[in-house]
A = this chain, B = another copy of it.
Amino acid sequence: MRILLTVAELRAARSELLQRDATATLGLVPTMGALHDGHLALVRAAKERCRFVAVSIFVNPLQFGPSEDFSHYPRTFDQDCTLLLKEGVDLVFAPAAEELVPAHATTFIQVGGIGDRLDGKSRPGHFRGVTTIVGKLFHVVAPHAAFFGQKDAAQVAVLRAMVRDLNFDLDLVVCPTVREPDGLALSSRNRYLSAEERIHALALSRALQSIASMSVQEKDARVLQEHLRSCLAAAEGIRLDYAEVVDPRTLEAITTMHKGALVAVAAYVGKTRLIDNIVLPSGNTP
């Protein structure tokens, strides 16, 4: 496994890897580090599908708001590398902030509409930061496929739109959310939770599970959304950010449930903002 710190190093290592075999494919798993089993599931999906796998570790300053947790976002580089080595990853791209976000840069990639919904609404500028950096990573790593977690459902919708609208020549592969045995969706931010908050946080997956059960009978999306909000409003230690039933591609509210409807929530548990979602009627329930 090679660890590359600059764009030039990464490109050289990529060329070296792929020139051995002109038909070989490269998969990219973009991460912000602080790796957990959700990330490792993405790496395994990439290994299964591609000959070589690159993982980027970059805490992207552009996707954090001024009052958000950029400065204390968990950074566990050595542990991350140990995990990735065990998974048989080929390249780790870990640039410094200035390498990918130099002071002079003024260019952004922005997805209108979709990028302003759900987390894009709660976190203005967030998705512009995500799409700009993911676009740069696509240009630097030039992967044949890139792997993202369904846990970040809004991010998935925004990146799908970006790849389609800008004709990026790669497959975007979305992998199911990985959960703790009790239902909590894995997140690097779970590290922030106290033991008590960890218990409170279960309200998110529980509320989604309740909606999943209810949706077998109830097809009015607004009724389900109201129920979801009530569940979370009643939950101890939870401050709701959003709870919505939307089309998974456009992130626009729907009125009648249809196959693949996205039920997405974001809430604060103490100071920690968590997100979770399910796709209904089938698939990946908590």
Contact = CB atoms under 8 A, between A and B. Distances in A.
A258 to B, nearest CB: 18
B136 A166 contact: yes
A253 interface: no
B139 A169 contact: yes
Interface residues of A, number: 31
A109 interface: yes
Interface stretch (A28-36, A81-89, A111-119, A231-239): A111-119
7 contacts: A11-B169, A106-B112, A106-B161, A106-B165, A107-B111, A107-B131, A139-B166
A168 interface: yes
Interface in A165-183: 165-169
Contacts of A114: 106
Number of copies of this protein chain within its complex: 2
Interface of A: 7, 11, 22, 102, 104-115, 131-132, 135-136, 139-140, 142, 161-162, 164-169
Contact of A136 (B102, B140, B167): B167
Contacts of A162: 107
Given A106-B111, A106-B165, A109-B166, 16 more contacts: A11-B169, A102-B165, A106-B113, A106-B115, A106-B161, A107-B110, A107-B111, A107-B131, A107-B161, A107-B165, A107-B166, A109-B109, A135-B166, A136-B167, A140-B167, A140-B169
